[in-house]
């Protein structure tokens, strides 16, 4: 059994719910993808692309990614601090409030209530629920860290604290609004200020939800999975502080060529390029931690997920800065290139690390061997193939789209109408759906493997128990 002083029930519950919301996100992702190729599958007013798309993004980011963050942070914080979480009751409250919030979000979005700010669509009553949820989580993690019995703070704890404080500040600032009725509010900011605050929030949501927490998981689960410590704590700390410092200035790269002041755009562009260094600090640290251990890519399925995950992070953080350059942005902005960038991050980086973390945790907290390693490998190849088809087809689509939009006849008129460019997208959107269905199949294999592990897996050998709990 796991060391009894730790609360593992809460980790189990958050894993369960994050996987459920993850499945919903991916299912709805496939549905909205099909709705783009087959518009007749939009059923107004509820089951339309416009209503389902934010349900997909919210379920993906707040249900799946944040659910895994809750599960893994509760597991990691107890072990790194060598103490049980500060309050079991608060954690249980947080679990049920998390589900209530996600359901409230899904229902209100389906009914068409939205602030129309991307990734911050929820109207003010649900916004307040999000704040209560995050405060409960923050207090529990921070109090556990304060009361810790281990003096040294491993890098994962730094990333966790950054995520907790970062999300709180971003969310509150961007949420500032004046309610005019139970389900309608207006932003406190106007015009370009509103856009600027929104994308300061938007990009830092990428930093504090889709970057810092998976890095906390990566730094914890990679050495645990390989059995070898991380290559350099110094590199991890330097990368951490420079990443946190630089991210906060980059939001306006979403607003290049807009009325936002030029100097703000240039600042965002410069900081985005500088972000390559701290991002790659972690990538290189991860690769160097594999020195003498590369054979584990073949024999250890966890390492495969983690190293391919960090590789996608590396690619993502090279592609992102390029997109933040004005001339490149002029070409790809508004095209299908951008969703391809996003899904390399969400399906490649974030989900790969999340799957690895769950595979690491489930056998340990249920005291069972994983039901099937071949199925875990099959899951890996399905999600990798699905994600690559998804992103590569849309990168090609994005370049084609941009090329057609920019094509000009000798007399200065546009060569193609907008509809002609849309029609050209169909084969790529079909390819995306195929990639999505392959990814979804991988997720179903993953869930089957977990259910079989929990229901009928072999007991873990006692030799797997270490002084710390489990290896």
d(Cα 439, Cα 33) in Å, to the nearest integer?
Answer: 13
- How many residues appear in the chain? 471
Using the rule CB under 6 A, which residue among 323, 391, 401, 453 binds ligand HEM?
Answer: 323
Q: Is 342 in the site for ligand HEM (CB under 6 A)?
A: yes
Spatial CB neighbours of 38, under 8 Å, sequence gap ≥ 6: none
Stretch of 155-163, 167-175, 320-328, 398-406 lying at the interface with ligand HEM (CB under 6 A): 320-328
| Residue 412 φ/ψ region, left for φ over 0, alpha for ψ in the -120 to 50 degree band, beta for the rest | left
In the region spanning residues 189 to 218, those forming contacts with ligand HEM, defined by CB under 6 A, are 202, 206, 210-211
x/- letters, 108..147, toward ligand HEM (CB under 6 A):
----------x-----------------------------
Of 106, 102, 111, 113, residue with least CA distance to 179: 113
Residues binding ligand HEM: number (CB under 6 A): 48
Pure H helices in 262-372: 262-274, 276-288, 296-299, 301-323, 326-332, 337-343, 351-366
Q: Is 384 in the site for ligand HEM (CB under 6 A)?
A: no
Q: Is 283 in the site for ligand HEM (CB under 6 A)?
A: no
Q: Is 29 in the site for ligand HEM (CB under 6 A)?
A: yes
Count Cα atoms within 13 angstroms, Cβ side, for 279.
24
Stretch of 13-21, 58-66, 398-406, 410-418 lying at the interface with ligand HEM (CB under 6 A): 58-66
Q: Is 399 in the site for ligand HEM (CB under 6 A)?
A: no
- The SS3 assignment for 235 reads helix
Spatial CB neighbours of 296, under 8 Å, sequence gap ≥ 6: 225, 226, 290, 303
* Angle CA 33–37–40, to nearest 5: 105
Report residue 341 as tokens.
Answer: 């960038």
Using the rule CB under 6 A, which residue among 17, 64, 86, 371 binds ligand HEM?
Answer: 64
Spatial CB neighbours of 253, under 8 Å, sequence gap ≥ 6: 203, 265, 268, 269, 272, 323, 324, 329
- The SS3 assignment for 2 reads coil
* Residue number with CB closer to ligand HEM (185 or 351): 351
In the region spanning residues 401 to 460, those forming contacts with ligand HEM, defined by CB under 6 A, are 436, 439-440
* Residue number with CB closer to ligand HEM (432 or 470): 432
What distance, in Å, lies between the first and last C-alpha atoms of the chain?
12
Stretch of 296-304, 318-326, 372-380, 456-464 lying at the interface with ligand HEM (CB under 6 A): 318-326
Position of tokens 């416009």? 50
Shortest Å distance, C-beta 30 to ligand HEM:
5
Pairing of strands 177-181, 469-470: unpaired
Q: Is 350 in the site for ligand HEM (CB under 6 A)?
A: yes
Q: Is 174 in the site for ligand HEM (CB under 6 A)?
A: no
Q: Is 60 in the site for ligand HEM (CB under 6 A)?
A: yes
* Residue number with CB closer to ligand HEM (211 or 449): 211
* Residue number with CB closer to ligand HEM (66 or 81): 66
In the region spanning residues 237 to 266, those forming contacts with ligand HEM, defined by CB under 6 A, are 250, 253-254
Within 10 A of 334 (CB to CB), how many other CB atoms are there?
12
Stretch of 103-111, 129-137, 330-338, 410-418 lying at the interface with ligand HEM (CB under 6 A): 330-338
Report residue 348 as tokens.
Answer: 């490649």
DSSP per residue, 437-452: HHHHHHHHHHHHHHHH
Using the rule CB under 6 A, which residue among 53, 79, 224, 379 binds ligand HEM?
Answer: 53
Applying CB under 6 A, which residues contact ligand HEM? 25-26, 29-30, 32-33, 53, 56-57, 60-61, 64-65, 118, 202, 206, 210-211, 250, 253-254, 272, 275, 279, 313, 316-317, 320-321, 323-324, 329, 332-333, 338-339, 341-343, 345-347, 349-351, 436, 439-440
């Amino acid at each position: 059994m796991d060391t009894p002083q730790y609360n593992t029930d809460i980790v189990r519950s958050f894993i369960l719910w994050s996987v459920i919301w993850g499945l919903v996100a991916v299912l709805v992702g496939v549905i909205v993808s099909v709705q783009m190729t087959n518009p007749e599958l939009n059923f107004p007013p509820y089951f339309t692309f416009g209503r389902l798309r934010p349900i997909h993004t919210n379920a993906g980011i707040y249900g799946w990614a944040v659910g895994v963050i809750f599960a893994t942070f509760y597991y990691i914080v107890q072990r790194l601090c060598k103490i049980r979480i500060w309050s079991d009751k608060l954690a249980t409250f947080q679990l049920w409030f998390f589900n209530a919030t996600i359901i409230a979000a899904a229902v209100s979005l389906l009914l068409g209530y939205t602030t129309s700010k991307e990734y911050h669509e929820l109207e003010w009553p649900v916004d307040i629920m999000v704040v209560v949820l995050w405060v409960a989580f923050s207090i529990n993690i921070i109090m556990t860290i304060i009361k810790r019995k281990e003096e040294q703070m491993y890098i994962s704890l730094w990333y966790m604290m950054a995520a907790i404080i970062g999300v709180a500040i971003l969310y509150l600032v961007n949420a500032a609004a004046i309610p005019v009725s139970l389900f309608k509010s207006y932003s406190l900011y106007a015009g370009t200020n509103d856009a600027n605050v929104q994308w300061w929030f938007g990009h830092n949501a990428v930093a504090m939800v889709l970057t810092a927490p998976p890095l906390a998981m990566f730094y914890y689960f990679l050495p645990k999975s390989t059995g070898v410590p991380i290559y350099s704590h110094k590199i991890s700390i330097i990368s951490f502080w420079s990443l946190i410092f630089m991210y906060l200035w980059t939001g306006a790269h979403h607003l290049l060529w807009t009325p936002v002041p030029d100097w703000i755009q240039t600042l965002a562009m410069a900081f985005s390029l500088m972000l390559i260094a701290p991002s790659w600090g972690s990538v290189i640290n991860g690769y160097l931690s594999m020195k003498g251990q590369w054979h584990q890519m073949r024999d250890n399925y966890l390492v495969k997920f983690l190293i391919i995950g960090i590789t996608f992070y590396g690619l993502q953080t090279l592609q992102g800065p390029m997109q933040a350059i004005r001339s490149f942005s002029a070409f790809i902005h508004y095209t299908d290139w951008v969703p391809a960038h996003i899904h390399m991050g969400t399906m490649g980086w974030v989900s790969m690390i999340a799957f690895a973390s769950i595979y690491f945790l489930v056998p340990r907290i249920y005291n069972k061997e994983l039901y099937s390693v071949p199925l875990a490998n099959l899951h890996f190849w399905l999600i990798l193939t699905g994600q690559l088809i998804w992103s590569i087809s849309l990168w090609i689509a994005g370049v084609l789209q941009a090329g057609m939009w920019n094509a000009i006849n000798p007399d200065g008129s546009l060569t193609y109408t907008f509809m002609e460019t849309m029609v050209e997208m169909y084969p790529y959107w079909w390819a995306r759906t195929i990639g999505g269905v392959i990814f979804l199949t991988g997720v179903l294999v993953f869930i089957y493997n977990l259910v079989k592990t929990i229901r009928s897996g072999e007991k873990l050998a006692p030799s797997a128990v270490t002084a710390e709990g489990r290896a």
